[in-house]
Every structure is written in structure tokens, then in C-alpha cells.
Structure 1
Amino acid sequence: MPDPVIVPESPTLFDWAGGHEALVKLLTIFYGHVLEDPLLEPVFRGMDPDHPKHVAVWLGEVFGGPAEYSASHGGHAHMVGRHLGRGITEEQRRRWVTLLLDAADEAGLPDDPEFRASFAGYLEWGSRLAVIFSAPGAEPDPHEPVPRWDWAKPPWQPPSA
């Protein structure tokens, strides 16, 4: 009988991306571009200088890292509350996604197809929820947990010897 093939466990998206410091770098680059963008700058004008770090903590938790956003930043209810009443347009949403994908390249995040498919999938899903939550009269459930995002398809890794 042949030896069973042992498939290595997939790392979290958080670990694959490079952890907290990689996400801080990504979001620092991204929000620098946002503040120069005529379509998005009005949405983010006057943001807290620590905003990129807070979003890095959010994204870290979403991608399987420490549950620090839930523990220290108010969890899902706080993130949803940051979008209420903002009236984010589809054009702004699409620009936000494009700039964040470009920032991922600039920050040197992994560019393998599996990671980028998972990353882009979350950006599409999350940004579309932000549009819904920012619409007049939106009433999202404040008791939902921070979402957990995983691989669309686990990363290819060479078989272990």
C-alpha cells in the first residue's frame, strides 16, 4: 500500500500576507494614495492619523490573525458604524478596490494567484457591504462578529518529502 500523501495545513491569509507589519505597510501606502485621489479624498478627509493601523488590525483579524479588533477596537459593530450614513457610491467603491489592489503590489504583498484571489474576493465582498451599510436608512446587525475570510483555494505548496 502506498504511503499516504500528507498535505500541509494552509497558513492563514494573515500569515501568508506577512502578518501585522505587512498589513500596516499596505494600508499606510493605500491611505496615502486615497488622500491624493479626488474621488476618495472627501470620504477620508480628516481621518485619524492612526486609521491605517486600525484598519490593519481589522484586516488582520478578518484574515485569521489575532482577534485584536474585537478586543480593542469595538469589533464588527464599530467597523459598521464607521460607514453608516456616508453614502458611498459604486464609483467610489470601485476606485477604493482598485487603489487597494495597486497598493498590495506596491507594498509587496504575495502575488500568487491563490492569495490574490482571496484578497480580491474579500475586498469585493467587504466594499459592497460598505456601500449597503452606508446607504440612507441602513440598519445592519450590530451583534455580528468580525467576519473570517479564508482561502478561495488553498495555496499551492510543494509536497513534503
Structure 2
Amino acid sequence: MENKKIPTPYEWAGGVGVFEKLTEVFYVKVLKDDLLEKVFRHMSPEHSKHVAHFIAEVLKGPKFYSEEIGDDALKHMVGKHIGKMLTEPQRKKWMQLLLESADEIGLPDDPEFRSTFVAHLEWGTRIAISNSQLSENPVTKEDHIPEWGWGEVKGPYEIVGSLFRKKEQ
């Protein structure tokens, strides 16, 4: 019996171009949305691509985001949320529009991929809300951009302090 390599979620989705298309379609929707437009109206022209590259990297793709931003890539990403005071309705709308965009562009919709993709987004957006309530960036050199594979559950993680390190038991 042949032993086949299981693709990463990034590979299964179709590569970086798919994630770039996803965020392009998504941010058009965001800028037309009454709840989210005010949060994103001043985003840089590169924002969409940075988000695409971050998602791709988390889903075990190439480290495009880390290479673009440098050694403090996680601190940079978390820093974008500090003090924004994001709300649960905004988070839910963000998720809704991103998943609508995923359907629109034909991102794989098999149960395995979508459960992995949605699990990461749920986890990440909830951490973003927590970070947005802070006045200082809690990321340290010990923290790292998470990798999210098939069927993984992250945690338990400490929200204030080290976001991306396991709690001591």
C-alpha cells in the first residue's frame, strides 16, 4: 500500500493565491459593512495581503508573513488589535463576511478543511477581542505565531500575558 503525504490545510486550500483572493473579496465587503467599516476604514493598502499571508502561515503554509514583517511578526499582528475595543457583534460579523467570502471564491468546503479553518478563525478572533481590550502589547520573544493543522484544538492558553504559550498546570 502506498503511503501518501497528507497535505497541510494551506496546501489543501490551494496556496497563497487563494488566501489573497479570499481577503481581497472579504475586505470589499468589510468596507461596505456598517459595523466593520469604521474599524477598517484607515487600513493600509497592504492590509488585505498581510492578513492573507498570516492565515496562510498559520495553516502551515510558507512563512510569508513572518518574512515580510520580521522577527516581531506576532507582536506586530497583535499590536494591530491593542486598544481597538472590538466587540462580539463585530467579531461575529467579521466571521460571517469571511465565511461568505470563502464560499464565494470556492475555498474548499469539505468538512475536514472547513472545521480546521473555522476552528482557527474562531480561536483567533476571540483572542483578537481580548487583545483589543488591552492597552499594552503582551507578546514576548517566547511567543510564536501558531500553526494550525488538521483537527487541532489549541489551548488552554492564558489570554492576558503570554497569548501563545501553554499555561502551567
Matched, 1:59 2:55: yes
The reply to whether residue 33 of structure 1 matches residue 29 of structure 2 is yes
Unaligned 5+ runs, structure 2: 153-169
TM-score, L = length of structure 2: 0.83
- The equivalent position to 1:47 in structure 2, one of 30, 33, 43, is 43
Count how many residue pairs are aligned between Structure 1 and Structure 2: 149
Is contact 1:93-1:128 (8 Å) kept? Answer: yes
Please state if 1:20 is matched with 2:19. no
Selected match of 2:130 from 108, 132, 135: 132
Larger RCO: 1 or 2 (CA < 8 Å, sep 6+): 1
The structure that has the greater radius of gyration is: 1
When the two chains are superposed, the root-mean-square deviation of aligned CA atoms in Å is: 1.5
Distance in 2 between residues matched to 1:7 and 1:104, nearest whole Å? 31
Match of 1:157 in 2: none
Using structure 1 for the length normalisation, give the TM-score: 0.87
Matched residues in 2 for 1:31 and 1:128: separation?
Answer: 19
Percent identity of paired positions between Structure 1 and Structure 2: 48
Structural mapping, 1:12-161, within 5 Å: 12-74=8-70, 75-137=73-135, 139-143=137-141, 144-152=143-151
Question: Matched residues in 1 for 2:80 and 2:137: separation?
Answer: 13
Structure 1 regions of 5+ residues with no counterpart? 154-161
